[in-house]
Amino acid sequence: MSRSLSITFVGGARSVTGANFLMEAEEEGRPARILIDCGLKQGERFCESANSKPFPYDPTSVDALFITHAHADHIGLIPKLVKDGFHSPIYGTAPTLDLMPVMLEDSVGIIAREAKACGAEPPYTTADVARAASMTEPLNYGLTKSIGPFTITLFNAGHILGSALVLVEVFGKRILFTGDLGRVPTLIIPDRDVPPGTIDYLVTESVYGNRTHEPIEESEKALLGALKRVQEKKGTLLIPSFSLERTQIILKTIDRFLTEKLVEPLPVFLDSPLAIRVTEVYKNNARFLRRELQEQLQSGDDPFSFPSLRVTFSKGDAKAVDEAEPPKVVIAGAGMSHGGRIRSHEMHYLPGKENELLLVGYQVPGSLGRRLQDGAKEILINRKKVKVRAKVSKTGGFSAHADRDGLLSFAESVNPKEVFVVLGEMESASFLAQRISGFLDIKATIPQEGEQIEIPLSE
Ligand SMILES: [Zn+2]
């Protein structure tokens, strides 16, 4: 019987963002194609990145798309895929599919502005987002879906609400894609699964392949310390936060500090329409949260809210942030300060010595957040020079990603025959690959962007 199987690392190879993996199987001349993720490449100028180029495969020929989770670097190009002719179902867990349009509607405007800045057409519109949303079909953890010769099962990846590991079984081979992998323990969703049975190939992320996170307790301490300092200095604490998962972790942590009276109540502004909408999706998908949060919600106590929390949905409401007397806290997106309302707050508050900026997530090279993390004393926001006199600190313990030891221990528990290391900067990917081959004696390679790897099949 003539059969062939391959994986093409279309995007997300040797880079953190832009996840897009194509699996092609052929039997007796009948081809079948599935995609895992279709993400936006972030941190580069729009016109220089893959976002603006045509897909290197024919979107009309793809039989299904499986999405690991709703972060933009995993779903951000789905509307473009649809616009370019993809017409098959899009599978993910129910929360991922609820989050998808919320996240995409938010990024449409940002992408259009980026495209306009370099004289290009926007890659898609809100109509394409709506079309993509109408093509989704939920697939629960543990259930299987057959697409031609492929059988696909999703497992909990423990990264963000609804995040999934994608297990692909085809022609007797079992291939596991991690998407992004969560750390253990997590704070608001259940810890990740290890799929049962033998895995032939593991396609693992490596965002933090060469770094360790501080324990969650250290980040809780850093947040508590920053809150206490701005209370003392009568300053403003800015937290640029990713709207998805990170913001909910911060809200839940502040809620706990207040309940345990570790800090005096102070106004906390959630100045992010996106984060507000995302938090609603969390509450609507309570069965995907940790059991203790489900119980808290059932008892009528919202783990993501407290009396001094003010949500500012519209831009008019956002004025209340500036009018409020310090001390106060402002949580706003975008997480890497590359867009969103945080930029105007940074313009306003970074020059003040009494203020603080706490970075709680990964800052991609080239982003404004990365420049602040690297200690820039002066930055440009909307072409205006802004002096940075506020204390800038970062803490990595709220990360939703496994660190280098977590990634290694996941590879060890999966115990595959071979590993492809993706979704990390080169340094980080090669560090993880070396540790996988050195410590676990498993062959680990780092595919290049666009590389197609044939999977050998036994006759
Ligand atoms: Zn992610």
Residue 246 CA to ligand 1 center (angstroms) comes to 11
Query: What angle, rounded to 10 degrees, do the helices at 216-233 and 246-259 form?
Result: 70
Residue 71 CA to ligand 1 center (angstroms) comes to 5
Rg (CA), the chain: 22
Residue 453 CA to ligand 1 center (angstroms) comes to 24
Residue 17 CA to ligand 1 center (angstroms) comes to 9
Residue 121 CA to ligand 1 center (angstroms) comes to 27
Identify the CA nearest to 128 among candidates 149, 100, 148.
100
Residue 94 CA to ligand 1 center (angstroms) comes to 16
Residue 28 CA to ligand 1 center (angstroms) comes to 37
Residue 205 CA to ligand 1 center (angstroms) comes to 10
Residue 306 CA to ligand 1 center (angstroms) comes to 27
Query: What angle, rounded to 10 degrees, do the helices at 273-284 and 246-259 form?
Result: 80
pLDDT of residue 459: 58
- Provide the residue-wise pLDDT of the chain in tens; the chain has 459 residues: 799 999 999 999 999 999 999 999 999 999 999 999 999 988 777 776 778 889 999 999 999 999 999 999 999 999 999 999 999 999 999 999 999 999 999 888 878 888 888 888 888 999 999 999 999 999 999 999 999 999 999 999 999 999 999 999 999 999 999 999 999 999 999 999 999 999 999 999 999 999 999 999 999 999 999 999 999 999 999 999 888 999 999 999 999 999 999 999 999 999 999 999 999 999 999 999 999 999 999 999 999 999 999 998 887 777 789 899 999 999 998 889 988 899 999 999 999 999 999 999 888 888 899 999 999 999 999 999 999 999 999 998 899 999 999 999 999 999 999 999 999 999 999 999 999 999 999 999 999 999 999 999 975
Prediction pTM value: 0.92
Residue 171 CA to ligand 1 center (angstroms) comes to 29
Burial of residue 100 (number of CB atoms within 10 Å: 0-12, 13-18, 19+): buried
Residue 213 CA to ligand 1 center (angstroms) comes to 16
Distance set, CA 352 to CA 234, 326, 346, 382 (Å): 11, 12, 10, 19
Instruction: Count CB-CB contacts under 10 A for residue 294.
Output: 14
CA angle 155, 248, 257 (to 5 degrees): 125
Residue 16 CA to ligand 1 center (angstroms) comes to 10
Residue 128 CA to ligand 1 center (angstroms) comes to 22
Cα separation, 347 vs 6, whole angstroms: 49
Tokens found for residue 214: 């501080």
Residue 455 CA to ligand 1 center (angstroms) comes to 27
Residue 41 CA to ligand 1 center (angstroms) comes to 13
Residue 383 CA to ligand 1 center (angstroms) comes to 30
Burial of residue 363 (number of CB atoms within 10 Å: 0-12, 13-18, 19+): buried
Residue 370 CA to ligand 1 center (angstroms) comes to 18
Residue 264 CA to ligand 1 center (angstroms) comes to 33
Cα separation, 97 vs 119, whole angstroms: 32
Residue 456 CA to ligand 1 center (angstroms) comes to 30
Residue with tokens 């997106």: 333
Burial of residue 18 (number of CB atoms within 10 Å: 0-12, 13-18, 19+): buried
Residue 75 CA to ligand 1 center (angstroms) comes to 10
Residue 433 CA to ligand 1 center (angstroms) comes to 20
Hey, what amino acid is at 142?
G
Residue 245 CA to ligand 1 center (angstroms) comes to 9
